[in-house]
Structure 1
Amino acid sequence: MNVDRNREFADKTVLVTGAGKGIGYASAILMAERGARVIALSRSQADLDALSHTIPCTTIAVDLADAAATLAAAQQALQAQPVDLLVNCAGIVELEPFLDTSIDSFDLTMAVNVRAAMIVAQECARCMIARSEGGAIVNVSSMAAQVGTPLHAAYCASKAALDAMTRVMAVELGVHGIRVNTVNPVVTMTPMAQKVWSEPAKSGPMLARIPLQRFVQPDEVARAIAYLLSRDSSMVNGVSLAVDGGFQAG
């Protein structure tokens, strides 16, 4: 059966966290282009305003480091309209050597990258189960979940935790027709990545390990996310999909 990509998600509502920049921004735009109704969460109201001038969307500004605020934002999103699809994309990175990684930065990274994803997914999954129509969730992880990266102790730990939580979600929610997967990109040229990988001395050795010899663009990750949300992946559940140009094959 041929699928009209322009109308692929025409009857669906997608909630995207971290929608103000990078992969989340690209995902929100792509899902809207393919017909979805978009609810966008981001810390920055200015970023959300910019997004809303690009696509029709409902926006909610929230600091996902705050558990109570995260729960309230998720509940507010679901009051607006039931959610069929979820993209947990919000994430932060604090660059510190392992021996100098502070408790505060570790806790903050885990709060945003893992705890917030859990809270939002719990609320969305409860809504999906109540409607008995299934659904799909994509948690945006990283190749850092499997590969140790200098100065990224907290970040690597958070992404490994996100992958592990995703597998549990896939097992427990699958019986309700809800599929849960991760995408695991190599370095993606988002504003967050620019501050880490803009220097040739840092980017050169990493690029040398990627057979395709370049970093990933946000829209390439967004297309992988759309695949995992779509009917094309109807039997894909509990996987970590590498979007890494062959990085892990080497």
Structure 2
Amino acid sequence: MQLSFSGMRALVTGAGKGIGRDTVKALQASGARVVAVSLTNADLVSLSKECPGVEPLCVDLGDWEATERALGGVGPVDLLVNNAAVALMQPFLEVTKEAFDRSFNVNLRSVFQVSQMVARGMIDRGVPGSIVNVSSMVADVPFPSLAAYSSTKGAMTMLTKAMAMELGPYKIRVNLVNPTVVLTAMGKKVSADPEFSRKLKERHPLRKFAEVEDTFLLAPVPTF
């Protein structure tokens, strides 16, 4: 199915690498104007060369005040993809305050903040919109050394349900995508241990990990 996002403006977080980067490319190829948000400026520079016309925005989404400054004047957005995340692997008994706070600030709190900003803009403009939250299979299936990361993704499930319920009356759709390990740089790091990788694959019906392009087949199609 050929999708067209012509005339729409999208915002993608975690746009510098992996799923986020390919999402930006796919949206732009489908006609959308895209705001690409990333922590790493070098990634945004290379993305801008690869996709001329992308609007790069460099900010640490784990910093509430910096995010407010960076996105406060971002302008109209029709589609938001909350993809930014960190996976700080530590056994439960070794999880530090710093790792816990960083995980929740980036993976969950930024979803609250960015979604609030975008949804308020949609409501003020009186237009429908779509928000897609990128989660993980570990929201439902526990694995060693991912206690903090899994907790953020589990919380995202309920957050998505709450957002969908409260934003639905404004014709703002909110959906969740829970892929298996996707072979991005972060995914390859998480699945580097052969035994751990084997256990992960055993929990997946296809007994294999996903490539980045597979996530587009899973993602809900925004309709307006």
Query: Which TM-score band applies after superposition, normalised by the shorter structure?
Result: over 0.9
Corresponding residue for 1:135?
129
Q: CA deviation at 1:26?
A: 1.1
1:50 equivalent in alignment to 2:46 = yes
- Mind listing any 5+ residue stretches in structure 2 that lack a counterpart? none
Q: Deviations over 1:107-137 (max 9, x none)?
A: 1100000011111100000010011111000
How do 1:131-170 and structure 2 match up within 5 A?
131-170=125-164
Shift of 1:90: 0.2
User: 1: CA distance between counterparts of 2:109 and 2:148?
Assistant: 14
Count of residue pairs the alignment pairs up: 223
Q: 1:184 aligns with which of 170, 178, 182?
A: 178
Shift of 1:102: 1.1
SS in 2 for 1:185: coil
Q: Does 1:73 align with 2:70?
A: yes
Report the 3-state secondary structure (helix = DSSP H, G, I; strand = E; otherwise coil) of the residue aligned with 2:55.
strand
Q: What is the one-letter code of the residue matched to 1:72? A: R
Q: Kindly indicate whether the alpha-carbon contact (under 8 Å) linking 1:41 and 1:62 is maintained by their aligned counterparts in 2.
A: yes
Instruction: Report if the CA contact (8 A) 2:79-2:222 is conserved.
Output: no
* TM-score in terms of structure 2 length: 0.95
1:5-43 Cα distance to aligned partner (Å, 9 max, x none) = 3xx101210000000001111111111111111000000
* SS across alignment from 2:81: strand
* Corresponding residue number in structure 1 for 2:16: 20
Pick aligned residue for 2:29 from 22, 33, 37: 33
Q: How many Å apart are 1:211 and its aligned residue? A: 2.4
* 1:64 pairs with one of 61, 64, 70: 61
Query: How big is the alpha-carbon RMSD for the aligned residues of Structure 1 and Structure 2?
Result: 1.3
Give the AA of the match of 2:19: I
Q: Secondary structure at the match of 2:74?
A: helix
CA contact (8 A) 1:14 1:84 kept: yes
Does the Cα contact within 8 Å between 1:137 and 1:180 map onto a contact in 2?
Answer: yes
Q: Give the stretch that moved more between structures: 118-127 or 96-105.
A: 96-105
1:89 maps to which of 79, 83, 88: 83
2: CA distance, partners of 1:4 / 1:157:
36
Deviations 1:202-236 (A, max 9, x none): 212222332212101112113433xx2422xx7xx
Deviations 1:153-186 (A, max 9, x none): 1001100111111111000000000000110011
Distance in 1, matches of 2:205 and 2:107, equals 28
Give the conservation status (yes or no) of the 8 Å contact 2:201–2:208: yes
Match of 1:194 in 2: 188
Q: Following superposition, which runs of at least 4 residues in structure 1 exceed 4 angstroms of deviation?
A: none
